[in-house]
Amino acid sequence: MKRRPRIYPALALLWAAAAAGCAAPDQDYSDLSDYYRTAPKTILVLPARNQSTDAEASWFYMATVGEPLVERGYYVMPVTLVSEILTREGVDPGAAWDIDPARAYDYLGADAILYVTIEEWDTFYAVMASSVKVAIDYRLVDTRTGGVIWEHRGARKVTAGGHGQGLVGLLLDAAESAIVATTIDYVPLAAGLNAEAFSTLPPGAYHPDYPALRQKIEAWEKDKARESGGMGSGLDI
Amino acid sequence: MEATSKSAFRDHPAGMGMKARAGKPFLLGVLSVFVLLLSGCAADDYDDCDDSLYEAMKYSTEEAWAAHTALLGLILVRAEENGVQPPPGVAAEYGFNTALIGEDVEKGMEYLDQEIQWYPESRLFIEALKRLIAGEEDVLAMPAAEDGEEEP
């Protein structure tokens, strides 16, 4: 299958510059132009591949992945409903990654598939403190070409503890460590990681910044087309 | 194929062979919507979906799924009150759960149709969900070619 060139790192930087309103007149929108040419409007999120030691890590991720993507301006198929369809089709969550991306476009209308690998979600316990180390790899794949159109790796370590010397301090440390290890605290941690990751994703069609950005890119494409004496292909999102 | 065989989310009531009962849990969940409406404390309902969905997936009880569904219903009510379109997927998830957990298929289908109205790009996905609810064998079916469109 033909793969598109990897464009994401420069793309994130370009978008950050554009969003800050500091884009120079000769701003190069090549990467964003390429990204939007794939028209990723609808995103299907597959069950995460969990390589961590925490069996529940997939749930933290799955419960928190949709909202920040929606807020980024994309139509996101609810993860529970996608899973129900896969189940009905006899596709085990572990085998979902083997599905040809083109089928998600043909049968469900997904423009892109988000593949997420939870590399680490490990809690370390100690007398004075405990910590949670998380690392997640994100890949957004165009369902029509199979090419990666955005990629991000997020990592974070959260530590709790350290209330000073003495018995009271030790007791507080132990209590706080227990709180950190409580799974309910993992939901905001996962939500924060997902939000941070998707902040590097160019805005989707429903994002308020999208129209202005699209205008800039279209103007840039027209300039490029004039320079080369050809016609711009335009954006189709 | 029996839908209960291996649900990706363990005991999601929708994975119970579509025979989940519209018992007290769901009614309690629906009632909680009105409680929240009366209390006026649903300022950031969409943000709360993370927690309610996690609770539903982790504990897999009818109560937890009903509470999550009720929160989705609250988001829809708030959106209507404010004259805005709800976020993508909310009406789809609410409609699907209402049809299968709440056993109100007609109402559930109405919300699924509404999702297509709000988000036309969801059409194929929603149609697959409707076939799943109807118990059809082929949930995934190739879309019919539009008029004038050549068959692949």
The verdict on a CB contact (< 8 Å) between A88 and B3 is: yes
Supply the DSSP symbol for B146.
P
Q: Cα–Cα–Cα angle for B64, B113, A97, nearest 5°? A: 65
Look at residue A157 in the predicted model and tell me its pLDDT. 85
Q: Which residues of A touch B64 (CB under 8 A)?
A: none
Confidence (pLDDT) at A59: 86
- Residue A36 is predicted with a pLDDT of 82
CA A188 to mean position of chain CA atoms: 16
ipTM of the complex: 0.77
pLDDT averaged over every residue in chain A: 80
Query: CB-based contact (8 Å) between B15 and chain A?
Result: yes
Smallest CA–CA distance, residue A77 to chain B, in Å, is 6
- The pLDDT assigned to B35 comes to 45
Q: Which amino acid is at A223?
A: D
Q: Mean pLDDT highest for which of A203-207, A228-232, B5-9, B15-19?
A: A203-207
The answer on pLDDT for B98 being more than 70 is: yes
Torsional sign, CA B90, B96, B102, B104:
positive
The verdict on a CB contact (< 8 Å) between B8 and A42 is no
B44 lies within 8 A of chain A by CB: no
Which residue out of A54, A56, A71, A87 would a mutagenesis test of the B interface target, given it has the greatest number of B Cβ atoms within 10 Å?
A: A87
Average pLDDT for residues A126-131, to the nearest whole number?
68
Interface residues of A toward B, Cβ cutoff 8 Å, are 41-42, 47, 56, 59-60, 62-64, 66-67, 70, 74-78, 80-81, 83-90, 92-93, 103, 106-110, 183-184, 187-188, 191, 206
Q: How confident is the model at residue B111 (pLDDT cuts 50, 70, 90)?
A: very high
- Model confidence at B150, pLDDT cuts 50, 70, 90, reads very low
pLDDT value at A32 more than 70 = yes
Q: Please give the pLDDT value at position A15.
A: 54
Q: If pLDDT is split at 50, 70 and 90, which confidence band does A57 have?
A: confident
The per-residue pLDDT for range B33-75, each reduced to its tens digit, is: 444 444 444 446 777 788 888 888 888 888 999 999 999 999 9
Residue A106 and residue B121: Cβ atoms within 8 Å?
no
Name the token pair of A65: 């992945």
Contact: B7, A83; criterion CB under 8 Å? yes
pLDDT one-digit tens code per residue, B67-84: 999 999 999 999 999 999
Is it the case that residue A235 has pLDDT exceeding 80?
no
pLDDT computed for residue A214 by the predictor: 85
pLDDT score of A71 more than 70:
yes
Which is it for strands A75-76 and A49-50: parallel, antiparallel or unpaired?
unpaired
> Within its chain, how far is the Cα of A164 from the centroid?
39
Task: Please tell me the number of Cα atoms within 13 Å of A79 on its side-chain side.
Answer: 28
Q: Which of A77, A87, A59 is nearest to B17 (CA)?
A: A87
CB contact under 8 A, A88 and B92: no
> Which pair of tokens denotes residue A161?
């503890």
Q: How far is B39 from chain A, CA to nearest CA, in Å?
A: 24
Q: Using CB atoms, which residue from A66, A75, A83 is nearest to B8?
A: A83
pTM assigned to the model: 0.76
